[in-house]
């Protein structure tokens, strides 16, 4: 995943390849078709399978312990999420739309639980939160720029985009300096996302909304809760 070199964290090749595959798979499945989700699956689960088979030896003992502990966390959270989903959709015999997105939702919860448990154990809350926020800010910056390119230039649109993206980079900067404050703000941002994407009056399927929430909100909530446990001024 990562290795420490001269006090800095340098990504290893297997981790870089896995990250590229996951990102590419998500983009392709979003814009070209769900069949490309297999690419993200190879990036998310392939390295772990190769390590367990003994064919990939890129982790030290500490990393292995963190990954195994994260796997148990994924089992707990993923199992609970599955039970809650099945109970909710079958409550009083209520039927819901047949959609593969319900399966995707469970996979997203499992993988993201494992990922964040591993990162928090290895990097710690401030560094994990800071990097998550940088990724979020970069993602939304690309999204905003794409919208601006597809539409005629408007100063209001540019300013709105900057106001939306800038807080993510600002929070990334203060995550290590004011972790508890950043944690509170992250939970507030997560709550705002949940309100914005609430299914009330939406034409989207419930499964689509929940998958979106899992991808966008879970990282913010996980980082926020972890930061709340940190001491100020570290």
What is the per-residue pLDDT across 119-134, written as a single tens digit (0 to 9) for each? Answer: 888 788 888 888 888 8
Q: pTM for this structure?
A: 0.67
Let me know if residue 193 belongs to a domain.
Answer: yes
Asked if residue 102 and residue 50 are part of one domain, the reply reads no
- The SS3 of residue 98 is coil
pLDDT value at position 164? 67
Please compute the mean of the pLDDT values over residues 154-166 and round it to a whole number: 65
| Number of neighbouring beta carbons within 10 Å of residue 203 | 6
Asked if residue 207 and residue 109 are part of one domain, the reply reads yes
Asked if residue 66 and residue 23 are part of one domain, the reply reads no
Long-range Cβ contact pairs of 60-64 (< 8 A, separation 24 or more): 62/122, 63/1, 63/122
Nearest residue to 70 (alpha-carbon basis) of 84, 56, 59: 59
- Quick: pLDDT tens for 51-74: 888 888 877 788 788 888 888 888
> Does 6 have pLDDT greater than 50?
no
- The SS3 of residue 201 is coil
Question: At 5, which helix (H) or strand (E)?
Answer: strand 2-5
For 27-56, give the DSSP string.
HHHHHT-GGGHHHHHHHHHHHHHHHHTTS-
Question: At 117, which helix (H) or strand (E)?
Answer: helix 101-123
Q: Count the residues in the chain.
A: 234
Question: Which structural domain range is residue 6 located in?
Answer: 1-59
Asked if residue 5 and residue 73 are part of one domain, the reply reads no
Question: At 192, which helix (H) or strand (E)?
Answer: helix 179-196
Place of tokens 């980079």: 169
- The total of structural domains in the chain comes to 2
């Amino acid at each position: 995943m990562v290795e420490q070199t001269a006090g800095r964290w340098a990504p290893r090749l297997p981790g870089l390849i896995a990250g590229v595959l996951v990102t590419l798979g998500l983009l392709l499945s979003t814009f070209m078709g769900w069949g490309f989700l297999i690419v993200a699956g190879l990036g998310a689960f392939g390295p772990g399978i190769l390590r367990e088979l003994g064919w990939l030896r890129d982790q030290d003992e500490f990393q292995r312990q963190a990954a195994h502990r994260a796997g148990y966390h994924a089992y707990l959270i993923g199992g609970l999420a599955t039970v809650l989903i099945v109970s909710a959709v079958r409550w009083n015999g209520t039927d819901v739309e047949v959609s593969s997105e319900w399966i995707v939702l469970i996979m997203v919860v499992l993988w993201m639980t494992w990922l964040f448990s591993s990162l928090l154990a290895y990097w710690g809350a401030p560094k994990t939160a800071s990097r998550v926020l940088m990724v979020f800010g970069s993602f939304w910056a690309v999204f905003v720029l794409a919208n601006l390119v597809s539409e005629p230039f408007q100063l209001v649109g540019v300013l709105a985009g900057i106001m939306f993206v800038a807080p993510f980079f600002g929070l990334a900067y203060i995550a290590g300096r004011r972790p508890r404050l950043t944690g509170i703000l992250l939970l507030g941002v997560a709550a705002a996302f949940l309100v914005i994407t609430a299914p009330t009056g939406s034409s989207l399927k419930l499964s689509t909304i929940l998958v979106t929430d899992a991808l966008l909100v879970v990282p913010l909530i996980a980082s926020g809760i972890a930061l709340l446990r940190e001491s100020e001024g570290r």
